Amino acid sequence: MAKDITIYTTNTCAYCAMVKKWLGAKGHSYNVINLDEQPEKQAEALQLSGALTVPITVVTKQDDSREVIVGFNLSKLAPAVA
Amino acid sequence: MNQIADIPTHDVIIIGAGPAALTAAIYTTREDIGTLLFERGVIGGLAAVTDMIDNYPGFPDGIEGLTLATSLEKQAERFGAVIELGEVTKIIDEGEYKRLETTSGDMRARAVLVATGSDYKKIGVPGEQEYYARGVHYCATCDGAFYRDKRLVVVGGGNSAVQEAIFLTRFASHIDLLVRADHLRASDVLQHDLEKYTDKITVHFNTTTDEIVGEDNKVIKVLGTDKVKGEKVEFETDGVFVFVGLEPNSQFLKTSEIKLDEIGFVLTDQHLQTQIPGVFAAGDIRSGATMQIASAAGEGATAALKIREYLEGRPHPVQN
């Protein structure tokens, strides 16, 4: 089980909605950083992912290791939060 | 849902969850036909990632694509449709049942609707793949926010290119719209809208996109050709958004007996049935589709009624 899940999103991003929907359906809670409301966080999102895109999901595990998932990618997201 | 030979079995499995799929699900579930949808990407399909939809009937002021997608999803779920987030990788015809290999294991259905839609095409030029998501994008509503006060290139001349270029003016300082043809294919309404943005969008007709060039891990320019002058041209930019047409999401069908046209769209008869009895197709994935959301919804409704006809008079081993 993940210790913390943070999703970088924007208001109009449909794939972000899918990540939230999937995590919610699996019973995971998560934090949201909305880049439309907090544009100053864009550089942080880019640094974490190396990509100019959302969603970016940062999964912090129990041992404090981190996994960064770009996009709505279930093959990476599901094992990361397991 | 029932279990036959330990395989979950449904009346109808719909592959996809875009407007055609969700409309079909509204119709089948209202007829009490158990319906499971599989979606590997985004619920609502390309409609969900479209900024604003002005030509879907019933919304005089237009509707945001994501809002329309969410509404369709809620409406289908209200009547009992179940959407599973996963992927169907193969359809096998077993006569009365169709077996589907999926990322959630094998499933069976009495009827299947293929409604996987289409996705934005790649241009196929150097730099496009290398800078994907790091300067080259196919979803303005996802990635536009990264280009506040930056220069952008948008490639394409159809509805999506013009619509999304207009959307991107919320963020970008300037947009060069590169159009290969000598005219726009976008609707007249969108072309009139575009005229309101001449201070921010410059349209370059007869201009091909030949290469996307980066430096220090960032896109810095697009190289193209002015076809009239026969000269090389270049556009300084921080990012490129590509909307040059659609390609079918039918890769997974290439191992099935379902016939595709030369581009990869699914061939159907007048009842929207493929050559496998009980397997139907609707929406953008269907050969001959008009690639309109309203048409996709209409085809979804038609397919659902044809599926009902198909199921009637057949053995009914699935009890809901």
With a CB cutoff of 8 Å and minimum separation 6, the contacts of B21 are: B14, B15, B37, B39, B45, B113, B115, B282, B283, B300
Considering chain B, tell me which residue range(s) the CATH 3.50.50.60 domain(s) occupy: 2-119+246-311, 122-242
Residues of A in contact with B146 (CB under 8 A): 35, 42, 46, 52-53
SS3 B312: coil
Q: What is the ipTM of this complex?
A: 0.82
* Cα within 13 Å of Cα(B61), Cβ side: 0
* Mean pLDDT to the nearest integer, B105-115: 97
- A18 in contact with B at a CB cutoff of 8 Å? yes
Give the tens place of pLDDT for each residue, B121-152: 999 999 999 999 999 999 999 899 999 999 99
The reply to whether CATH 3.40.50.720 applies to domain B2-119+246-311 is no
Global pTM reads 0.87
- B41 in contact with A at a CB cutoff of 8 Å? yes
Which of these, B69, B20, B80, lies nearest to A18 by C-alpha position?
B69
SS3 A26: coil
Shortest CB distance from B48 goes to which of A14, A54, A70?
A: A14
CATH superfamily of B122-242: FAD/NAD(P)-binding domain (3.50.50.60)
The tokens for B159 are: 């509805």
Q: How far apart, in whole angstroms, are the C-alpha atoms of residue B180 and residue B188?
A: 18
Query: Is residue B19 scored above 60 in pLDDT?
Result: yes
Shortest CB distance from B142 goes to which of A15, A22, A46?
A: A15
The rounded radius of gyration (Å) of the Cα atoms in chain B is 21
Are A14 and B86 in contact (CB < 8 Å)?
Answer: no
Q: Confidence class of residue A58 from pLDDT cuts 50, 70 and 90?
A: very high
Identify the pLDDT of residue B191.
Answer: 96
Task: Please give the share of chain B, as a percent, with pLDDT higher than 90.
Answer: 91
Are B70 and A17 in contact (CB < 8 Å)?
Answer: yes
Identify the pLDDT of residue A41.
Answer: 95
Are A12 and B66 in contact (CB < 8 Å)?
Answer: yes
With a CB cutoff of 8 Å and minimum separation 6, the contacts of B91 are: B98, B99, B100, B112, B114, B253, B256, B258, B276, B279
CATH architecture for segment(s) A4-81: 3-Layer(aba) Sandwich (3.40)
- B240 in contact with A at a CB cutoff of 8 Å? no
Identify the pLDDT of residue B3.
Answer: 64
- List the beta strands (DSSP E) in chain A: 4-9, 31-34, 56-60, 66-70
Q: Confidence class of residue B320 from pLDDT cuts 50, 70 and 90?
A: very low
Mean pLDDT across chain B: 94
DSSP designation for A43? H
Query: Is residue B319 scored above 60 in pLDDT?
Result: no
Query: Is residue A26 scored above 50 in pLDDT?
Result: yes
Q: Any idea where the domains of chain A sit in the sequence?
A: 4-81
With a CB cutoff of 8 Å and minimum separation 6, the contacts of B152 are: B168, B172, B174, B175, B176, B237, B238, B239, B240, B241
Identify the pLDDT of residue B316.
Answer: 67
Q: Confidence class of residue B198 from pLDDT cuts 50, 70 and 90?
A: very high
* Mean pLDDT to the nearest integer, B184-198: 96
List, as one string, the DSSP characters of A1-17: --SEEEEEE-TT-HHHH
Are A53 and B51 in contact (CB < 8 Å)?
Answer: no
